[in-house]
Amino acid sequence: MIREATPEDTPRLLVLAKAFHYAARLKRFAAFEESVESWAAWIDSCTERLDAVCLLSEDDEGRVQGFATAVLTGAFWNPAVRFVQETALWVDPEARGKGHGSQLLSAVEEWARKQGVQLAAAGASQGCQPKAMRRMLERSGYALEERMYLKHLET
């Protein structure tokens, strides 16, 4: 079952967010322990903001198996073209292959459609099963349009 997260879900979502954080190799920029407050604030804000969402997938016993976060924005080349950007999508490794990821992605799209969004964007971090994510995205109608490169800037 897919549903919108509530503040009460934050502790369980933080467990999944930690796994995502390390798999996505975000630790190169900051350890999860240094980012946990930001993750919690992001999850909580998604439950309150109109332009963001945090969805979770539960199994038949109500255990959280995965989550997705997304934010609405306007295209930089034409702000009238609204799109939804998936910012994180993670399924517990033991729950993979059961449709949680594609159901979360579909739910993000449905939420975005209700907001009048015309375009959806999703990514696949190099450490997060990029081949499996690519297959799921392509099965869902997504096409590879660009690649993003990250560089840590020392301050």
The residue among 71, 14, 54, 68 whose CA lies nearest residue 37 is: 14
What is the Cα–Cα distance from 57 to 90, expressed in whole angstroms?
10
pLDDT at 131: 85
pLDDT bucket at 104, cuts 50 / 70 / 90: very high
Counted domains in the chain:
1
- Residue 23 included in any domain: yes
- Count CB-CB contacts under 10 A for residue 37: 9
- Residue 112 included in any domain: yes
- Residue 120 included in any domain: yes
- Residue 81 included in any domain: yes
pLDDT at 107: 98
pLDDT at 65: 96
- Residue 36 included in any domain: yes
- Residue 133 included in any domain: yes
Structure tokens at 121: 């964007």
Domain with 18, as residue range(s), is 2-139
pLDDT in tens, 40-88: 888 888 888 889 999 999 999 999 999 999 999 988 889 889 999 999 9
- Residue 12 included in any domain: yes
Q: Between residues 19 and 119, which one has the greater pLDDT? A: 119
Structure tokens at 134: 């690519």
Q: Which strands make up the sheet holding 119-121, listed edge to edge?
A: 2-4, 52-58, 64-75, 78-91, 119-121
pLDDT in tens, 75-92: 888 988 999 999 999 999
Is the pLDDT at 128 greater than 80? The verdict is: no
Domain with 82 in it: what CATH number?
3.40.630.30
The residue among 136, 49, 39 whose CA lies nearest residue 88 is: 39
pLDDT at 40: 85
Average pLDDT on 2-8 reads: 94
What is the Cα–Cα distance from 63 to 87, expressed in whole angstroms?
22
Q: Which residues pair with 98 in a beta bridge?
A: none
